A and B are shown apart, each in its own frame.
Chain A
C-alpha cells in the first residue's frame, strides 16, 4: 500500500461562506447605485421644469423656493451648511481629542470606567433631542447675552458639536489605547514626560483612528438635519453670522419631507439640493483619501487626522522656540533639573489640567440637558401617556403605538444591517487580498459612510416606497435605516478586526488553518467587544434617527403596525412635531416622549456595555 502524501489533495475552500461574505461587501455598491439613481433622476426632473435652470442654481445668491417669483440659487444653503459644520468641528475637535487623551493616558482605570460611558451617552442622545435642547434652552440663553434672533445658527452649532464630540472621543480613545505599549516605553525611556509621550508619540501613532473619528464627525455634522432644522430656522440667506437665522442643505430637504413645501418645483428642488450635498461629501471624502495617500502608501487612507497631527507638531515648535539649552550640561549634574526641565514639568501639569477640564465640558453639557428634559417631561409620564395614541388634544395625547413602531423599526433594521455589515468587514479585512475589487468596495463603503442621513430618506421614498411599491410602511422605514447604518457597522467592525494582533492570525495560519478558519476561531472572537461597541452606537443612532424616515412615517397613524407593510410612527418623529408646536403643553409632551426614548436607549446601552466590559476584562493581550 502506498503511503499517503501529505501534499496531495486540497484544503477546504469554503466557497459558500466566502460567497456570502463577498455579497455582504457588495451590498454597499447596490446601496450607492440606488442613491445615485434617486438623486440623478429627481435632479433631472427639477432642471427640466420651467422655473429652474442650472445656471441660476450655481450662480444665484437667492434661495426663495415659494411665491410668485421663485429663485433657486444654492449659495445661501451652502453658506448655512459651512457655518454649522465648520463651527461645530472647531469646537468639537480640540475638546474631543484632548478628552480622549485624558481618558486613555492620564486618568485612573476606575475613573475611566465611569467617565467613558458617560461621554458615550451623549452620542446615544438623538439629534431631535439636541434640537429640542437647542431651541428651548440654549437659544434663550444666547438671545439674552447676544443680539440673536429666535432661530439662530449658534445654538445649532453648540448642540451639533456636542453630538459629534462622543464620536471623536470614543473612537480616538480606542485608537490611542491600541498604540503598543512598546511605543510608550520607548518614549518614557528617553526621558520624555508622560505629557510629551502622549502628545508627541501616542497621538501621532494613533493618527489613523483619530482621523477616522474626525471624518465620521464631519460627515455627521454636514449631514445633521433635525437639530439644525429645529434650531437654526428656515430662512436661507447668504451670511456666516452665527447669531442669525440660517438654513442648511439638509434642513431644506427636511422642510420638503415634512410637507411644509407645496408640491411642484420647490419640492423637486429637494433632489437638486440632495445631489449638491452628495457631491460635496463625495469630494471632501476624495480629498481626505488623496491627501493621506502620499505619505502613507499602504496604511489606511485618512487625511484630516494626519494634517491635524502635523499642525499640532507645528504648534509646539512655535511655542518652544526660545529655549536652546545644551544637553551636555546634563552630564555634570544629570539628576537635578535645569530651568528647562522645570518648565517642562509645569507645562505637563497645566496641559493635563487643560485637557482634563475640556473633558468636563462634555459632561456638564450632558447633565444640563438631562436635567432640563427631566424637569419639563417627568410630570407628563403616566399610564395613559404610555398607552394612548397621539391626540391633537394635549390632555389625552399618548405615545403607545409610537413606542411599538420604533421598536419594530429598529429590530428589523438591525436584522438587515448587522450580519451584512460584519460580513463585509470580514471580507474586506481578512479574506480578500489587495485587489482592484477590494479597493473599489472599500472606497464605496467610505463614501457611503459619508452620505448624510436625510439623503437615505429620499432613496427610501423613491426606491422602496414608490419603485418597489412598499408604500409608506414599516418595511420601507427599516430598509432605509438599515442602509444608513450599514457603513457604520462595517467601519467599526473593521477597526475591531484590525485591533486583533497579527500574531493570532499567523499562529493559526501556520498550523494549517484556512483564512476563514483563522477568522472564525481566532480573529472574530477577539474582535467581538469592538464590534459590540460599533453596534451599540449604530442601534442608538437608528433608534433616535429622524431624518431618513421623515418622508415615510405616517404622522397620523393611530395604531401600531401589525404587519411589515403597515404604516408606522416613531418616537423621534413624534418629538420633532411636538417640539415645533407653538404651545407649551405640546413642548412638554415632547419632553415626556424624550424621557421615554432615553429610557429605552439607556436599557439598550446597559446591555451592550455589560457585554463589552466583560470581554475587556477578560482580554489578556
Chain B
C-alpha cells in the first residue's frame, strides 16, 4: 500500500496585500517528521498555520491554492475548521496553558467533544500526559494551577493537551524556542517517539534540531519554497546555493 500523503498545491497566503507564502507546492508523507526552516519572516509559520486553518482567525488574511488530505481539499469551504483542528492539532511557540488546573488543561479538548465520563477522562488524561512524558512529574498534583509548572513542563502540557484529542497530524511552531537545552532535549525525544502515532510538521530556527529530528526538510526564503527533500540530502548536499549558505550559517 502506498503511504498516504498531504499534498500542498499552489498555496499562497496574503496578509492584506503582502504575500507571505508564495505559490508553494509540496508533498508530506504521513508518519514522518517534516521540518520547515528559514530566516525569520520567510513564511514558514504562516505555511504551518494553513494546515489547520488558524489563518482563518486573522482578519485580513486570505489564502489561495489547495491542501489535499484524505481526498479532500481542507482549505475548501465545505470543511469545518473546527473539525479539521481536531484532526490537525497544534503546539505554539510560547507555552500557552489555560489559567486552570493541569488536569483541566488536558480535559478541555475532550470536554468540548462531549466526553463527560470521569473515568474515561481520567484515562485519556493519564495516557496523554504519559505520551507527553509529563505524567511522572505531575501525577500527584493534577489539580494544581498549570502556571505552577516550569516553562518546559508547560510546553509538554500543551503537547499533552494537543495529543489528548487524538489528532492524526501535529503542527509545532518553534516549540522549543522558549526552552532550555534540557527541556528541549526532552521534547525532541518526545517527537521521536510520537512519530509512530502522528505525522509531525515542525517549524524550527535551530538547524541542528531540524537535522536531528526530521525525516524531510523544507527550506523557505522570503515566502518561496527554495528546496524540499530528505533531511540528509538537504544538509549534506543541498542543490540550491541559497540553502547551502543558510545551513552553513552564512546568512539569516
Report A's interface with B, CB cutoff 8 A.
109, 180, 182-193, 196, 200-201, 204-205, 317, 320-321, 323-328, 330-331, 334-337, 340-341, 344-345
Contacts and interface: CB of A to CB of B under 8 A. Distances in A.
Contacts of B182: none
Contacts of B81: 188
Given A186-B92, A321-B116, A335-B84, 17 more contacts: A190-B89, A190-B109, A191-B87, A191-B113, A193-B112, A200-B112, A204-B98, A323-B114, A327-B113, A331-B166, A331-B168, A334-B86, A334-B168, A335-B74, A335-B80, A344-B112, A345-B80
A196 B110 CA distance: 12
Given A185-B54, A201-B98, A205-B98, A334 B87 contact: yes
B249 interface: no
Contact of A188 (B85, B87, B110, B158): B85
8 contacts: A190-B109, A191-B82, A192-B108, A204-B100, A325-B113, A335-B72, A335-B84, A341-B82
B86 A190 contact: yes
Contacts of B54: 185, 188-189
B117 interface: yes
The 3 closest A-B pairs by CB, nearest first: A191-B86, A334-B87, A182-B96
Contact of B117 (A184, A193, A324): A324
A185 B98 CA distance: 11
Most B CB within 10 A of own CB, among A185, A320, A335: A335
Contacts of A189: 52, 54, 85, 89-90, 92, 162, 171
A324 B112 contact: no
A449 to B, nearest CB: 25
A341 B85 CA distance: 13
Contact of B92 (A182, A192, A193, A196): A182
Given A182-B92, A183-B96, A201 B116 contact: no
A331 B80 CA distance: 16
B166 A330 contact: yes
Contact of B108 (A109, A200, A344): A200
A322 to B, nearest CB: 9
B59 interface: yes
Nearest to B56: A188
Given A185-B57, A324-B116, A191 B165 contact: yes
Contact of B161 (A190, A317, A324): A190
Nearest to B74: A335
A328 B115 CA distance: 12
A331 B88 CA distance: 11
A501 to B, nearest CB: 13
B18 interface: no
A330 B98 contact: no
A325 B120 CA distance: 11
Interface in B14-70: 52, 54, 57, 59, 70
A540 to B, nearest CB: 32
Given A182-B94, A184-B57, A335 B52 contact: no
A190 B111 CA distance: 11
Nearest to B114: A323
B1 interface: no
B79 A190 contact: no
B108 A191 contact: no
B165 A190 contact: yes
A183 B99 CA distance: 9
Most A CB within 10 A of own CB, among B81, B108, B112: B112
Most B CB within 10 A of own CB, among A184, A189, A200, A335: A189
A321 B114 CA distance: 8
B32 to A, nearest CB: 18
Contact of B99 (A184, A191, A205, A334): A205
Contacts of B98: 183, 186-187, 201, 204-205
B168 to A, nearest CB: 6
Contacts of A336: 83
A348 to B, nearest CB: 9
A324 B166 contact: no
Contacts of B100: 204
A203 to B, nearest CB: 11
A337 B165 contact: no
B158 A337 contact: no
Contacts of A326: 115
Contacts of A324: 114-117, 120
A190 B115 contact: no
A192 B99 contact: no
A330 B86 contact: yes
Nearest to A331: B166
B87 A330 contact: yes
Given A324-B115, A328-B166, A334 B108 contact: no
A506 to B, nearest CB: 15
Interface string B216-250: 00000000000000000000000000000000000
A325 B158 contact: no
B165 A186 contact: no
Contacts of A321: 116
Most A CB within 10 A of own CB, among B89, B109, B114: B114
Interface in B132-185: 158, 161-162, 165-166, 168, 171
A341 B165 contact: no
B83 A188 contact: no
A106 B116 CA distance: 27
B172 to A, nearest CB: 11
Contacts of B97: 186
A336 B114 CA distance: 16
Given A191-B82, A191-B165, A192-B82, A186 B96 contact: yes
A184 B86 CA distance: 15
B85 A191 contact: yes
A204 B99 contact: yes
Contacts of A345: 80, 82
A196 B166 contact: no
A330 B89 CA distance: 13
A325 B114 contact: yes
B59 to A, nearest CB: 7
Contacts of A186: 92, 96-98, 158, 161
A328 B86 CA distance: 11
Contacts of A109: 59
Contacts of B57: 184-185, 188
Nearest to A208: B99
Contacts of B110: 327
A187 B86 CA distance: 11
A192 B81 CA distance: 9
B49 to A, nearest CB: 9
Nearest to B95: A182
Most A CB within 10 A of own CB, among B90, B97, B108, B162: B108
